[in-house]
Amino acid sequence: MMSIKSILLWRILPSIALALACFVGYLSQHELPLGLFFTIIIPASNGVLPPQIFGHGKMKGTPEVPDDLSPQPRPENEMFLTLPGSGDLMPQNGVGMCCRPTAYDDELVYRSTLWYLLLGGRHIDGAQLYLNSKAVGRGIREAMRRGVKREEIFLTSKIFPTHYGYESTMKVVKSELDDLGLEYIDLFLLHFPSSGPLGSPCSKEGKGISQCRKETWQALSELRNKGNIRNAGVSNFAVKHIQELEAMTDVAPVANNQISFSPFVPEKAMETVEYCHQRNMTVTAYMPLGGQHQRSLVMRDLAGLSTKLGKSVSQIMLRWAIQSGCAVIPGTGNPNHMKENLSVYEIELSDAEMKQINELKYNAKGYMNMDTNMFD
């Protein structure tokens, strides 16, 4: 009879190693292994069978959109940020398309996009990495069929650093446009300053990451001139990375920096926001509700203000970021949350309430400091 130790050593551990090797092999077959990893791990870690493996359209979380639902009025007192260069107006209140189980089931992504646009929202945040652009595009096109005008929609996408490089950027933007089924993308971002040890077509030619970022920017600038994208920007960039692009000549202005921004981010993030605002760049706050993991801290620290104002904690957080001069892209697949989030144009926080929230700051879990040498 085998002891528990030998069962562990000769049966269980090899099985785990084999399963892991198969999983890594499966991921590495994909054009964007990290994207595929998220489509599996985010639903799985929330106790949901990943649609990528078990099939789309089976998950719950976003109800079907009624066939007779037509576009509702846009929010009253809607606010916008003006992008440098194009003068385009970006609605300050958007919706994000990653990082929750419902963002990885194509049917629910389609419904979320359609719900959001029909409820009056007009700003959608997507990315190559989220592997859901086809479903987002399907939702946008159905909303257009029901009467939403393309020129009112502000759509963002992003290129992941494993694809940095001139030729590769041209291909990624084309592929995003094909997947979306649209003629142009409103804002295209460099997703991260670097992907650390993961290479890119550019780095495989022996070029450094700084050179690869610049070649990517050059390509985005040309695509902007051709009208394939209307604005170019960055995401997770520290001031030093932005300055590198600002030093280039005859290229697009940096129109936007999308960073993790909520009352809980460290001082460093506040400095980045201040720099962008001084340089006339717009800032978009991702994880404006603190993401799934900060939720309990947020609920604890803003409960008092929520009771006093008769508004939800989410609404207070979104309004705080908007009044701090940023756009927000809360992620949700829930139409009730969309309505709640879109209604924050109606709230106004006083200077004293803004100050009270500003003083909550502490180092957020999961906040990535890009201002380290690792991302140079």
Ligand X SMILES: NC(=O)c1ccc[n+]([C@@H]2O[C@H](COP(=O)([O-])OP(=O)(O)OC[C@H]3O[C@@H](n4cnc5c(N)ncnc54)[C@H](OP(=O)(O)O)[C@@H]3O)[C@@H](O)[C@H]2O)c1
Q: Interaction with ligand X in 238-267: which residues (CB under 6 A)?
A: 258
Give the chain as a 3 state SS string: CCCHHHHHHHHHHHHHHHHHHHHHHHHHCCCCHHHHHHHHHHHHHCCCCCHHHHCCCCCCCCCCCCCCCCCCCCCCCCCEEECCCCCCEEECECEECCCCHHHHCHHHHHHHHHHHHHCCCCEEECCHHHCCHHHHHHHHHHHHHCCCCHHHCEEEEEECHHHCCHHHHHHHHHHHHHHHCCCCECEEEECCCCCCCCCCCCHHHCCCHHHHHHHHHHHHHHHHHHCCECCEEEECCCHHHHHHHHCCCCCCCCCEEEEECCCCCCHHHHHHHHHHHHCCCEEEEECCCCHHHHHHHHHHHHHHHHHHHCCCHHHHHHHHHHHCCCEECCECCCHHHHHHHHHHHHCCCCHHHHHHHHCCCCCCCCCCCCCCHHHC
Judged by CB under 6 A, which stretch of 79-87, 212-220, 223-231, 325-333 contacts ligand X?
A: 325-333
Compose the 61-100 pattern: x for residues touching ligand X by CB under 6 A, - for all others. Answer: -----------------------------------xxxxx
- The nearer residue to ligand X, 231 or 258, going by C-beta atoms, is 258
Name which position in 242, 254, 289, 344 contacts ligand X (CB under 6 A).
289
Judged by CB under 6 A, which stretch of 18-26, 162-170, 281-289, 351-359 contacts ligand X?
A: 281-289
130 is catalytic: yes
288 is a contact residue toward ligand X (CB under 6 A): yes
Compose the 96-115 pattern: x for residues touching ligand X by CB under 6 A, - for all others. Answer: xxxxx-x-------------
Q: How many residues bind ligand X (CB under 6 A)?
A: 28
List 116, 130, 164, 286, catalytic entry: 130
119 is a contact residue toward ligand X (CB under 6 A): no
334 is a contact residue toward ligand X (CB under 6 A): yes
Judged by CB under 6 A, which stretch of 75-83, 165-173, 178-186, 282-290 contacts ligand X?
A: 282-290
330 is a contact residue toward ligand X (CB under 6 A): yes
233 is a contact residue toward ligand X (CB under 6 A): no
Judged by CB under 6 A, which stretch of 1-9, 135-143, 268-276, 337-345 contacts ligand X?
A: 337-345
Contacts to ligand X by CB under 6 A: 96-100, 102, 125, 191, 235-236, 258, 286-292, 314, 329-334, 337, 340-341
Please identify every residue annotated as catalytic. Answer: 130
